[in-house]
C-alpha cells in the first residue's frame, strides 16, 4: 500500500456488488476498495469468481446488483492481462508489433510509430528478458516467452491500474521470477496491481494484500490475516456447496 494520501484513496470501490452471467451470480455481496498503490492477490478455489471479478473491475461485465465505482478512472487507465488460453496466437504478428500495441493509449491505433516509440518497445523487451526477439512471430514462442511479451506490452501501456489473470500459470520458474520483479517494479511506482493467483506461497511472499473469495467474499486485507487456515477451510466448504443454477439473491444494506 502506498504512503500518505495515496494509501487512503480508493481507485475502485465496490458496494454489495454481484457479478455473473444470465442472472446467475459468479461472485456476490462483495464490498470493499482497492486503494491507490496497493498490490493485491485475488485467491480462492477454482470457479470461485476470480476471473469474473476482474472483468467487472475493468468494465466488460456490468454488475447484476450493487454499485461498482472506478472513481475517475477511464477504461484506458486500466491495463488488463487475460489468461493465455483466451488469447489467439495464430494471427501473423511479430513480437515487436505486439509490444508496440501498448502505445495505443498515447498515440491511438493509426498514428505512425516514431523511432523514439520503437526504442521504448525495445527497452521493454530488454526489461522482460527478450532482447533480440523483436522479429520473431508470436506463434513461435513458448508460453513463458509469450507471457514476457505481454508484460512488455503492458510496460508501454503505462497505466495506473493493472489487472492480471493468472499471470504465472503454465510458465517456467525463471520467467515467473522475472515477471514478479516487473510486478514489484509497478508496485514501487505506486501503481495499483490486482492479480488472480493460485500459488498461496507465492502470494504470501510477494503480495501484501489479499482478497479470498468463494463466490462470496471470505476475507480481504493483509495477506497473513486473509490466508489463515480457518478462512481457507471456509472457502473450500463453500466451494463444495455451490449451486450453479442458483438465481441472484439480494439483501438489504444496513
Q: What is the pLDDT of residue 250?
A: 59
Q: What is the pLDDT of residue 226?
A: 98
Distance of CA 74 to the CA centre of its chain: 16
Within a domain: residue 20? yes
**b (16+ CB within 10 A) / e for 194-219:** bbbbeeeebbeebbbbbbbbbbbbbb
DSSP-derived letter for residue 3 is S
CATH number of the domain that 60 lies in? 3.40.50.300
Q: What is the pLDDT of residue 21?
A: 87
What pTM did the predictor assign? 0.90
pLDDT digits (tens, 9 = 90+) for 94-114: 999 999 999 887 776 667 788
CA 107 to CA 77: how far, in whole Å? 14
Least trusted range by pLDDT, from 4-13, 221-230, 236-245: 4-13
Q: Read off φ and ψ for residue 39, nearest 5 degrees.
A: -125, 105
The answer on pLDDT for 5 being more than 50 is no
Q: Which of 26, 75, 40 is nearest to 212 (CA)?
A: 40
pLDDT digits (tens, 9 = 90+) for 198-233: 999 999 999 999 999 999 999 999 999 999 999 999
Q: Which domain holds residue 61?
A: 1-73+161-166+194-254
**b (16+ CB within 10 A) / e for 50-65:** bbbbbbbbbeebebbb
Q: How many domains does the chain have?
A: 1
Within a domain: residue 237? yes
Amino acid at each position: 500500500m502506498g504512503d500518505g494520501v495515496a494509501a487512503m484513496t480508493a481507485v475502485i470501490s465496490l458496494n454489495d456488488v454481484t457479478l455473473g452471467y444470465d442472472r446467475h451470480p459468479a461472485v456476490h455481496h462483495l464490498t470493499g476498495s482497492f486503494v491507490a498503490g496497493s498490490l493485491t492477490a485475488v485467491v480462492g478455489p477454482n470457479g470461485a469468481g476470480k476471473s469474473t471479478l476482474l472483468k467487472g473491475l475493468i468494465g466488460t461485465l456490468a454488475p447484476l446488483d450493487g454499485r461498482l465505482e472506478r472513481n475517475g478512472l477511464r477504461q484506458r487507465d486500466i491495463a488488463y492481462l487475460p489468461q493465455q488460453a483466451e488469447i489467439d496466437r495464430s494471427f501473423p504478428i511479430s513480437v515487436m508489433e505486439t509490444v508496440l500495441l501498448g502505445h495505443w493509449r498515447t498515440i491511438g491505433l493509426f498514428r505512425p510509430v516514431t523511432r523514439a516509440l520503437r526504442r521504448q518497445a525495445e527497452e521493454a523487451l530488454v526489461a522482460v528478458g527478450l532482447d533480440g526477439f523483436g522479429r520473431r512471430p508470436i506463434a513461435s514462442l513458448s508460453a513463458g516467452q509469450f507471457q514476457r511479451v505481454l508484460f512488455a506490452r503492458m510496460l508501454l501501456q503505462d497505466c495506473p491500474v493493472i489487472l492480471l489473470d493468472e499471470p504465472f500459470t503454465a510458465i517456467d520458474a525463471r520467467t515467473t521470477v522475472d515477471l514478479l520483479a516487473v510486478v514489484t517494479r509497478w508496485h514501487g511506482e505506486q501503481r495499483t496491481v490486482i492479480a488472480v493467483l493460485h500459488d498461496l506461497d507465492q502470494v504470501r511472499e510477494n503480495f501484501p494484500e489479499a482478497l479470498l473469495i468463494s463466490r462470496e467474499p471470505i476475507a480481504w486485507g493483509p495477506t497473513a490475516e486473509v490466508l489463515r487456515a480457518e478462512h481457507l477451510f471456509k472457502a473450500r466448504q463453500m466451494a463444495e456447496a455451490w449451486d450453479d443454477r442458483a438465481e441472484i439473491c439480494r439483501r438489504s444494506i444496513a
